[in-house]
A and B are shown apart, each in its own frame.
Chain A
C-alpha cells in the first residue's frame, strides 16, 4: 500500500489529453510539500518529468504539465504520442515517515 495513491492505469488515443492523479494526505502533499513526477519506460530507470509541482526539466516537452491543490496533484499529458506509453510515478515527502514517498505508479496505454 503506497502512501500516495495513483490510479493503476489510464489510456487515451493519440492526440488526446489524459490526466493522472496523485492523492496524499495532511502528512505529505497537504502539508505543502512539493510533488514530483517521473516517467519510466520499459526496462529503464525512472526519468524526472516534473519537479516542484509544475516545473519541467530542460528537454521535457511542454505537452507535460503538473499541478497541485490541497492534498492532491495531477500530471496532464496533451497531444498523446505512442512514445508516451510508460509508467508514471508521483513522489513527495512525508513528515510522519521523515522521508520521501512514492505513488504506486500509473500505466499509461496509448490506444
Chain B
C-alpha cells in the first residue's frame, strides 16, 4: 500500500521560501492527485494545492500567488514551495494522496507532517 514520507527545513525567516518534499513508496504517481495541506498550531486544516499525475496543478486561491507544486516522476517525489513567508505561515505541513475518482476526492494516506516555524 502507498506510504508517504516527507521532509524539509523546519525553521525559516520572514520573506524566505519554504521547500518541502514528499516521497511516495509502494506506488506511483499514475492515476492519482498529490496534495499539500497545512495546519497552524491549535487550528484547523487548510488545503494548499495539488498536482495531478500528468503534472497539472491547482492551488488554493488564497495562496496561489506564492505556491508552486512540482513533481519528479523519476524519484517518485513531489514538492511544495511557498514564498514570501510570514509568521502566519507557521504550521504543520502535510502531504497527502487524493485518489483520482472525481474533483471531490478524499485524502489518504497522509505524510507524517513537518512543523515549519517562521521566525526572525
Contacts and interface: CB of A to CB of B under 8 A. Distances in A.
Nearest to B1: A58
Interface string B63-103: 00000000000000000000000000000001000100011
Secondary structure dominating the interface of A: strand
Interface string B20-57: 00000000000000010000000011110110000000
A100 B59 CA distance: 10
B110 A102 contact: no
B110 A46 contact: yes
Contacts of A34: 102, 104, 106
Nearest to A32: B104
B44 A103 contact: yes
18 contacts: A33-B103, A34-B106, A36-B107, A45-B112, A46-B107, A48-B107, A48-B108, A98-B58, A99-B47, A99-B49, A99-B50, A99-B60, A100-B35, A100-B47, A100-B50, A100-B107, A102-B44, A103-B44
Interface of B: 35, 44-47, 49-50, 58-61, 94, 98, 102-104, 106-113
Interface of A: 2, 33-34, 36, 38, 45-48, 51-52, 57, 89, 91-93, 97-105
